[in-house]
Amino acid sequence: MADAATPEDRPELGIAMPARKAPRALWRRLVIAAIALAAAPVLLTLVYAVVPPISLPMLGRYLTGQSVDRRWTPIENIAPVARFSVMASEDGQFCRHWGVDFGAIAQVLERGGENGPSRGASTIAMQTVKNLYLWPLPTFARKPLEVPLALWTNLVWSKKRVLEVYLNVAEWGDGIYGIEAASQHYFRKPAARLNAREAAQLAVVLPNPIRRSAGQPTRRLRNLAGLIVSRARNSAGYFDCVR
């Protein structure tokens, strides 16, 4: 004898059938959205190889009506001493790695960096992709994504392009983005005319541009800038990839 039909199997009773396919459709949409989010930085990196990018912090300020001072300038119009100073301060092995300094990351982890690589292990390529694609994410979620995106960026872009984009999207103060805007704001001159001391003062504020000022550096920052002046002066052979 056949089993008695349940109410769900009796549409003639006027009982609505449960939407059993809804969870599957929801998961499908979530998967598609995740794939799109993952693909966006990969595709944008190809676009940004030739198009001046806008970083997420800049976009956030635009959308909230806050001021943004960014003046895109080609790397040829940035004083070589400024290029060398930023590399000496932020990524001394810039010309010798593939976008990620695995040796620096290993040293940080050996010293007990349980929260992952610090800024000390972050290369210019990693900081660039953070600004372009990953800015709102917390550090623990962002760091694992920085590595593959930095490797991809280093593969697609030349070293000059990586540095050019970084120098044009890095933050140098509240609403001040890019070295041209920073140079005009703090020293009233274009980035092409920065001298060694000015370039070094801009470089040492990058780790915390809101609390540090290139125009009014503390004694500690002036001392750091002095070290960067020396490093940049003795950089022959280390930064030849962006000469």
Minimum mean pLDDT among 3-12, 25-34, 55-64: which range? 3-12
Give the pLDDT confidence of 144-166 residue by residue, as tens digits: 999 999 999 999 999 999 999 99
Minimum mean pLDDT among 16-25, 46-55, 59-68, 199-208: which range? 16-25
DSSP string, 36-63: HHHHHHHHHHHHHTTS----HHHHHHHH
The Cα 16–Cα 219 span in angstroms is 75
Q: Quick one: how far is CA 108 from the chain centroid?
A: 20
**First and final C-alpha spacing in the chain:** 88
The Cα 220–Cα 159 span in angstroms is 31
User: Which pLDDT does position 120 carry in this prediction?
Assistant: 58
Residue 208, pLDDT above cutoff 70: yes
User: Which pLDDT does position 28 carry in this prediction?
Assistant: 74
Cα 139 to Cα 53, 79, 80, 130, 177: the distances in Å are: 23, 32, 32, 10, 22
Which CATH number does the domain 54-237 belong to among 1.10.3810.10, 1.10.8.60, 3.30.390.50, 3.90.1150.10? 1.10.3810.10
Give the pLDDT confidence of 30-73 residue by residue, as tens digits: 777 667 777 889 999 999 999 999 999 999 999 999 999 999 99
pTM: 0.85
**152's tokens:** 């991809």
Q: Quick one: how far is CA 19 from the chain centroid?
A: 43
The Cα 205–Cα 10 span in angstroms is 72
Residue 134, pLDDT above cutoff 70: yes
Residue 170, pLDDT above cutoff 50: yes
**Where residue 112 falls among pLDDT bands split at 50, 70, 90?**
low
The Cα 129–Cα 203 span in angstroms is 19
| pLDDT, greater one: 117 or 43 | 43
Residue 15, pLDDT above cutoff 60: no
